[in-house]
Amino acid sequence: MKMLKYLLLFSVLFYFNAYSQMGPPRGRERLEQLEKIKLIEVLKMDEETTLRFFARRTEMKSKIDELNKNADELLKEMETMMKDEDDVDEAALKSKIDEWKKIQSEIERTKSEFIDSLYDILTTEQIAKMIIFEKRFRDELRRVLIKDRHRKMHK
């Protein structure tokens, strides 16, 4: 069973790597599709549960994407404010930092609320499996991307 999990994860990463060569949107879509398929398998969800789970997950991801967009805008503003190192407005910069921290807290709160919202459709064990899967999936994806960048740099 464990070998099957690693084989499937390797397949996901292989497909992501292959499709990422086609450009970010298509590669990202394929990765998301493969992640969904794997989640359905890991969580052993029926059709109704799958629909409810992914509706909530999509809503949560949309909120987080919007928050990340706002955080990125704040980072750009902070960079602009610091271009002239001799004339940095400390109070304005601190205000931007505080806004950024609030957004990061909101992202964590949104993730936590999403997990709390799952108890009516998933078991505690399924929720734990989802958390573990998502962490390992991100870590493995990061590892593959770093390895790919390293390989490209040393060609």
Its pTM stands at 0.74
15 vs 134, which has greater pLDDT?
A: 134
The Cα 7–Cα 29 span in angstroms is 21
The encoded tokens of residue 49 equal 């549960």
- The reply to whether 129 and 117 lie within a common domain is no
Are 102 and 152 in a shared domain? no
Residue 115's identity, in one-letter code, is I
HSE-up of residue 73 (Cα within 13 Å, Cβ side): 8
**Quick one: 117 and 154 in the same domain?**
no
In this predicted model, which residue has the larger pLDDT, 65 or 6? 65
- The number of distinct structural domains making up the chain is 2
In a shared domain, residues 13 and 38: yes
Question: Over 90: is that where the pLDDT of 63 sits?
Answer: yes
- C-alpha 28/C-alpha 49 separation (Å) is 24
Asked if the model's pLDDT at residue 68 lies above 50, the reply is yes
70: number of Cβ within 10 Å: 16
Domain that holds residue 91: 54-121
pLDDT interval class at 18 (50, 70, 90): very low
Residues 62 and 11 in one domain: no
- Name the more confident of 77 and 84: 77
